[in-house]
Structure 1
Amino acid sequence: MSDRQRALIVDDEPDIRELLEITLGRMKLDTRSARNLKEARDWLAREPFDLCLTDMRLPDGNGMELVQHIQLRHPQLPVAMITAYGSLDTAINALKAGAFDFVTKPVDLARLRELVASALRLRAPAREEAPVDNRLIGDSPPMRTLRKQIAKLARSQAPVYISGESGSGKELVARLIHEQGPRAAHSFVPVNCGAIPSELMESEFFGHRKGSFTGAIEDKQGLFQAANGGTLFLDEVADLPLPMQVKLLRAIQEKAVRAVGGQQEITVDVRILSATHKDLAAEVAAGRFRQDLYYRLNVIELRVPPLRERREDIPTLAEITLRRLGESSGLPPARLTEEALEKLKNYRFPGNVRELENMLERAYTLCEDDLIQARDLRLADAPGAGEGGEASLASIDNLEDYLEDLERKLIMQALEETRWNRTAAAQRLGLTFRSMRYRLKKLGID
């Protein structure tokens, strides 16, 4: 064979093999063909390949066995599954087993060429080993595991559901999966599903045509079109209303969207990553989230550990945060006293890394002589800082004032965690929007 990139085609139908050989040949790839599992394994043992395309049904087994064989013996080789139209469960199982992507019969050649191009970008020398990203801070065992999982998931096109508490870094994890994968040259489009008014959701996701509704003064591109070729990150996906969940499911399954007021569907090539701080399985059980959409989004789940499970990373996180604060203000970075650092290590951080950063920013403005004392952290005032999260009776002079102060702190924390989205903050606290608006006015929070 020549020095051109090589593909292994595994299918027992001669017409399909010939179609794939011609298509890949026009893309300047050399190909080898196998009619069954045994021939495929023989080729893999004899020659190196840059891509493998395999049918699901084979005379002596199935494509899933080949996916598992490649995962074990040739983990750097992208393998794509060819499935019958409508066999979505089969495709999802293939992705879970480690397949890079899938294509359905009858084979759409444009879709096939996109898949092949993406797979070959994974084999480019520059991506053989992804560089360590300095935005994902920490060297604790949970963080080392997380980095390995990100690197592995970046090689796939499977939808990933990123679970984790507010402030733990779910969007950063999603960005790293995108940037380390074959879609890195295209857009990463994040969207907070809880921040879009329900009446505008369809227009935001799918776009609209001029004149399709009052205020539509020009054509507008939707988020799916903006992310075409790249990644769409659905943050707080549990906040999507049920009618929008139906439309989102269809867009993901059909890989096509129709703008509001539009007549034709537009094909889109988008990888979906999603996240929420809620328990999505519990939302399904409660009837607030569609089970079919849950299974479509949660092909692979990636859990981001909370800060309290990696306390050994707190000193490094604190040092880097304080250095950044110093650089942005043009002043020397502040240092933490041993007592202050010990206080941080023993705090539960319900708001995770975001809460740590906000806490250090406040302490940085309060400290003297560039030295942050334990009192500057104001941990004694923080919710959950006491033993078992309980307040000491000796520390309360007036119960009404104490409860009002605690209410203000919790509302401020919810607002910070939701980036001042009042609707999302109200949901976080289990309040109606009317009740939230009343409390903000009562407490003088603008």
Structure 2
Amino acid sequence: MENKARLLMVGTFGENQQDVVRIMETKGWSISVVHDLSRAVTLLAREEYDAGLCCLHALSENELKELEPLVMRSRMEWMALIKETELENPFVCKALAKLFMAYQVEPIDIEQVDCLMNHAMAMKQLRFERSDPLLTDGDSEFEMVGAAPVMKKVFNTIRRVASVDAPVFISGESGTGKELAARAIHERSQRASAPFVPVNCSALPSSLIQSELFGHEKGAFTGASQQKIGQIEAASGGTLFLDEIGDLPLELQVNLLRFLEEKTIQRIGALDEIEVDVRVLSATHIDLEKAVAEGRFREDLYHRLNVLQVDIPPLRERQEDIEILARFFFDKFIEEKSMNVRGFSQEALVLMRQYHWPGNIRELTNRVRRAMVMCDQRLIKPADLGLERRTAKRHAMTLEEARNCAEKEALLSALNRNKHKVKKAADELGVSRVTLYRLMEKHNLERKGVGTSSLTSA
């Protein structure tokens, strides 16, 4: 038997409420009725509905304010029932404009309500339930999201290195997600149930790094009023992630090397050594080989840390992932957004793909999050992201680069519009499938069914 569409009715609809519910149920709706907002919040926390119907009769200004987060977090469209006199209340009118897909003035027209609720359900399915090729074709690894070939290589490397227990060195520019990669390795390893302990070596004062990593005994130095367990010992059985390892002072590099070789540590002020079973992951945004050549980093420590390697590419090298990531962060921070905001304008998406992203994923996250709060329209524009056309490119572009950029943009847009069906995209662009495949290869866009790619020739 086909599942009925689920409708949540909030409020009191008058003496004929039971008749309204009965008739709507005969039209195929499964209905839950609650009379107050707090009960509706509780219900929505554990149940999924297809549409919402709210009666605004006699709601105070405070109750209308409480209604906003309820509607925003429900992930469905709502319709309101009101009395004609309530349209004179500016607070009610503001709530209607911001929160509801439609409203109906009583007396209730059941046929119209049923029609509008079906529209609301269809809009929910379009917005949240129907598969988006950009997202379903994407891959992910502990919040690392992407469909670009370079990221699929990263995900494959993460899965391989996670299966063994050797040290891993993670390289990449600032903001590319090196800690996320480290967490992904830990989560896929046999140590996943044990602690994951991150330490940012560049954020610790040099006078405290040794105590932070190795711990100290009570009275070991002035101010050591009690014993302290270091981060290495705290990670026992699990994974220690040393971020910005290139900033570790030379004198402490000796101690870290000794720990890696002997698997023992000695707290400051202690006489005995402690055996610690820890897997070490490390990362930096600087060129460690250059640091070794300049004498700023020990060569023996570098080789101890750099047994296995994971290189995280900058965002500018995975252009096709930018829209996927923007939508991922939009969904992640959806409860913070302005009620009016529904997504990104096409112009914003184009400029995001053209922008150089010097701050990588961190910058993209911050720009999207800020735009979601500040935008007062339905679609986020370039100005909301701080990406006007004059600042979209930070470096001079040659004619050849401009042609390639426009060509790749046209390919991506046509493939996305045609749900990654190669033949349909080729027809739209006025080229043969052979030509389209050649262009896809030129711009590193792979075919579905070949390896781990994301396109189909149907």
Report if the CA contact (8 A) 2:195-2:236 is conserved. yes
Report if the CA contact (8 A) 1:326-1:333 is conserved. no
Select which of 185, 192, 206 maps to 1:184.
Answer: 192
Select which of 322, 337, 346 maps to 1:338.
Answer: 346
- The amino acid across from 2:145 in the alignment is I
Secondary structure of the corresponding residue to residue 194 of structure 2: coil
Deviations 1:195-236 (A, max 9, x none): 111111111111100011111111110011100111100000
Report if the CA contact (8 A) 1:322-1:334 is conserved. no
**Runs of 4 or more off by more than 6 Å in structure 1?**
381-384
Secondary structure of the corresponding residue to residue 318 of structure 2: helix
Q: How far off its partner does 1:191 sit? A: 0.3
1:254 aligned residue? 262
Structure 1 residues 157 and 383, CA gap change in structure 2 (3 angstroms): farther
Residues paired across the two proteins, number: 260
Select which of 206, 213, 221 maps to 1:213.
Answer: 221
Deviations 1:338-375 (A, max 9, x none): 11110000011111111001111222233222311122
Report if the CA contact (8 A) 1:175-1:188 is conserved. yes
Q: How far off its partner does 1:327 sit? A: 2.2
Report if the CA contact (8 A) 1:257-1:266 is conserved. yes
How far, CA to CA, are the matches of 2:321 and 2:277 in structure 1? Answer: 38
Structure 1 residues 308 and 386, CA gap change in structure 2 (3 angstroms): closer
Structure 1 residues 303 and 201, CA gap change in structure 2 (3 angstroms): same
1:232 aligned residue? 240
- The amino acid across from 1:273 in the alignment is L
Query: Does 2:333 correspond to 1:325?
Result: yes
- The amino acid across from 1:307 in the alignment is L
Secondary structure of the corresponding residue to residue 309 of structure 2: strand
Q: How far off its partner does 1:334 sit? A: 3.6
Gaps of 5+ in 1: 1-130, 390-446
Q: How far off its partner does 1:268 sit? A: 0.4
Structure 1 residues 258 and 332, CA gap change in structure 2 (3 angstroms): farther
Which of the two has higher C-alpha Rg? 2
2:315 aligned residue? 307
Gaps of 5+ in 2: 1-138, 398-458
Select which of 362, 365, 372 maps to 2:380.
Answer: 372
Report if the CA contact (8 A) 1:161-1:298 is conserved. yes
How far, CA to CA, are the matches of 1:212 and 1:380 in structure 2? Answer: 57
- The farther-off stretch of 141-150 and 162-171 is 141-150
1:170 aligned residue? 178
- The amino acid across from 1:272 in the alignment is V
- The amino acid across from 1:166 in the alignment is S
Secondary structure of the corresponding residue to residue 191 of structure 1: strand
2:169 aligned residue? 161
Structure 1 residues 135 and 386, CA gap change in structure 2 (3 angstroms): closer
Report if the CA contact (8 A) 2:351-2:389 is conserved. no
Q: How far off its partner does 1:144 sit? A: 1.3
Secondary structure of the corresponding residue to residue 228 of structure 1: coil
- The amino acid across from 1:271 in the alignment is R
1:148 aligned residue? 156
Report if the CA contact (8 A) 2:342-2:378 is conserved. yes
Structure 1 residues 254 and 134, CA gap change in structure 2 (3 angstroms): closer
Show the 5 A alignment for 1:395-434.
Answer: none
- The amino acid across from 1:261 in the alignment is G
1:279 aligned residue? 287
Structure 1 residues 230 and 383, CA gap change in structure 2 (3 angstroms): farther
How far, CA to CA, are the matches of 2:252 and 2:160 in structure 1? Answer: 31
Report if the CA contact (8 A) 1:379-1:385 is conserved. no
- The amino acid across from 1:306 in the alignment is P
How far, CA to CA, are the matches of 1:162 and 1:192 in structure 2? Answer: 14
Deviations 1:71-109 (A, max 9, x none): xxxxxxxxxxxxxxxxxxxxxxxxxxxxxxxxxxxxxxx
- TM-score, reference length from structure 1: 0.56
How far, CA to CA, are the matches of 1:359 and 1:382 in structure 2? Answer: 17
How far, CA to CA, are the matches of 2:207 and 2:316 in structure 1? Answer: 39
Secondary structure of the corresponding residue to residue 388 of structure 1: coil
